[in-house]
Chain A
Amino acid sequence: MSENKTVRIIVTRQENMDSAPYEEEFVIPYRPNMNVISALMEIQRNPVNAKGEKTTPITWDMNCLEEVCGACSMVINGKPRQSCAALVDKLEQPIRLAPMSTFPVIRDLQVDRNRMFDSLKRIKAWIPIDGTYELGPGPRMPERKRQWAYELSKCMTCGVCLEACPNVNSKSDFMGPAFISLVRLYNSHPTGAMNKDERLNALMGDGGLQDCGNSQNCVQACPKGIPLTTSIAAMNRASTVQSFRNFFGSDHHVD
């Protein structure tokens, strides 16, 4: 019985960055426990569309296949999410696959996520530990704080929160929710806190956290359940204080 079972998939495809998108339908044989990636691999093995015409295999990004790298994000049945964690059995058919519209499409479902890596650089999403001599161990982080920070550290720059945000689009420079939460993560690390003001000032630059319009889609969409809106409000508070310090002058740079 399961031999005749099929899966219908409609993919929004695009030849290259400049060409127009179009839809192509595929019907592939069903196998138990399929995810969207194994379905795409099935099409790759036999690139024939629903009309029986031979076509090009679909291009998409993937890496870890266990929802920790963020590379395989795409819009599945209208919702941005990781295709590796999207199980065919749990999806309504036909399954509609489209690239995330916030990012430039390279080809088919593959998008250029470079803007996010630029944002990571801009907010200094790292902890500087190098010196010209041995600096010794840094301050210890309380265990309970570490457990809390671990939740924020689950961010994999997958781009889903940017796709869900109405203020991240071609008309605005807004960097997106993820990076606001990452500033909170790095600023709460005992060593990272030594450059707190630098990250906050980067966050308050054009396209920074002030562009948030509180639609709170990000916290609903985040596949990792990161409390993004709490982070945004917390960074709003921190940047209120930082802006007063910048304007009136302060000798407290990092505390």
Chain B
Amino acid sequence: MADNREFFYRRLHSLLGVIPVGLFLTQHLIVNHFATQGEEAFNTAAGFMGSLPFVYLLEAFIIFLPLLFHGIYGLYIAFTAKNNLGRFGYFRNVMFFLQRVTGVITLVFIAWHVWETRIQALLGTEVNYQMMEEILSNPLMVVFYIVGVLSAVFHFANGLWSFFVTWGITVSPRSQRIMTYVTMLVFVALSIVGLRAIFAFV
């Protein structure tokens, strides 16, 4: 492993993006969706997640450490690319560019989102339906949350596509094309779940 540390980091980055970060994102959006059933349903679901046993360990190992590695190493990857959409406007090159753009947007969004919710919880504020309702009473924040959620979902869905290539699961052009359709369906489906939750608070 000494002379192929980069290989290890890259593969770790790919793995962590899907397991656990991608899975956590999906779970988080689904829990948020309880907001469409009203304040009580959301507070019960969020309260259940927040009162899981070993919650600090779960947060650290399923969310924060993988997310930090994926985010920081991802920034390095994004800024070592020299995008050339002007000369090569092919579909996959567009996706390559969007993957990097949405990655950076998502990182900014998540940093803000963690500060606004998790850190505030640490400082004694209760994270509940009312808190989100207050945050989203500002139309600018609604836009910020919509952009953030769509970026995160796109980054996950398209990242899933590259995950399948990176690990050598989809090799043939046809398998990669089918995976494009599947992951774009994932994007649409999770976007609906995410946006419905946001609009439930508005």
Does B11 sit within 8 A of A, measured CB to CB? yes
* Interchain CB contact (< 8 A) of A238 among B5, B77, B168: B168
Q: Which residues of A contact B92 (CB under 8 A)?
A: 214-217
* Interchain CB contact (< 8 A) of B6 among A207, A221, A238: A207
Does B55 sit within 8 A of A, measured CB to CB? no
Asked if residues A217 and B88 are in contact (CB atoms below 8 Å), the reply is yes
Does B80 sit within 8 A of A, measured CB to CB? yes
Asked if residues A204 and B4 are in contact (CB atoms below 8 Å), the reply is yes
Does B166 sit within 8 A of A, measured CB to CB? yes
Asked if residues B167 and A243 are in contact (CB atoms below 8 Å), the reply is no
Q: How far is the CA of A218 from the CA of B96 in the complex (A)?
A: 13
Q: How far is the CA of A185 from the CA of B8 in the complex (A)?
A: 24
Which of A208, A211, A220, A233 is the most central at the interface, judged by chain B CB atoms within 10 Å of its CB? A233
Asked if residues B7 and A208 are in contact (CB atoms below 8 Å), the reply is yes
Give the Cβ gap from A129 to chain B, nearest Cβ, in Å. 27
Q: Which residues of A contact B171 (CB under 8 A)?
A: 230, 233-234, 236-237
Does B176 sit within 8 A of A, measured CB to CB? yes
The majority secondary structure among interface residues of chain A is helix
* Interchain CB contact (< 8 A) of B77 among A213, A229, A235, A240: A213
- 0/1 interface trace, chain B 55-81, chain A, CB 8 Å (1 if under): 000000000000000000000010111
Does A22 sit within 8 A of B, measured CB to CB? no
- The A-contacting residues of B in range 151-202, CB under 8 angstroms, are 161-162, 165-173, 176
Asked if residues B7 and A166 are in contact (CB atoms below 8 Å), the reply is no
Does A153 sit within 8 A of B, measured CB to CB? no
- The A-contacting residues of B in range 1-48, CB under 8 angstroms, are 1, 3-8, 10-11
Asked if residues B82 and A215 are in contact (CB atoms below 8 Å), the reply is no
Does A157 sit within 8 A of B, measured CB to CB? no
Q: How far is the CA of A188 from the CA of B68 in the complex (A)?
A: 40
Does A117 sit within 8 A of B, measured CB to CB? no
Does B125 sit within 8 A of A, measured CB to CB? no
Q: Which residue of B lies closest to A168 (CB)?
A: B82
Asked if residues A243 and B93 are in contact (CB atoms below 8 Å), the reply is no
Q: Which residues of B contact A215 (CB under 8 A)?
A: 88, 90, 92-93, 95-97
Does A246 sit within 8 A of B, measured CB to CB? yes
Asked if residues B6 and A210 are in contact (CB atoms below 8 Å), the reply is yes
Asked if residues A221 and B88 are in contact (CB atoms below 8 Å), the reply is yes
Does B83 sit within 8 A of A, measured CB to CB? yes
Asked if residues B7 and A239 are in contact (CB atoms below 8 Å), the reply is yes
Does B84 sit within 8 A of A, measured CB to CB? yes
Asked if residues A236 and B165 are in contact (CB atoms below 8 Å), the reply is yes
Q: How far is the CA of A227 from the CA of B175 in the complex (A)?
A: 14
Q: Which residues of A contact B11 (CB under 8 A)?
A: 210, 240, 243
Contact A247-B1, Cβ < 8 Å, known A213-B81, A236-B166, A238-B168: yes
- 0/1 interface trace, chain A 55-84, chain B, CB 8 Å (1 if under): 000000000000000000000001100000
Could you list 14 further interchain pairs (A-B, Cβ under 8 angstroms) beyond the known A230-B171, A233-B170?
A166-B84, A172-B81, A206-B4, A208-B6, A210-B11, A215-B92, A215-B97, A220-B88, A221-B88, A237-B167, A237-B171, A240-B11, A240-B168, A247-B1
Can you give 26 contacting A-B residue pairs, CB < 8 Å? A79-B87, A166-B96, A167-B80, A167-B82, A169-B80, A171-B79, A171-B82, A172-B80, A210-B6, A213-B96, A213-B99, A215-B95, A216-B96, A217-B90, A217-B92, A220-B90, A221-B88, A229-B176, A230-B171, A233-B168, A234-B171, A236-B165, A237-B167, A240-B11, A243-B11, A246-B1
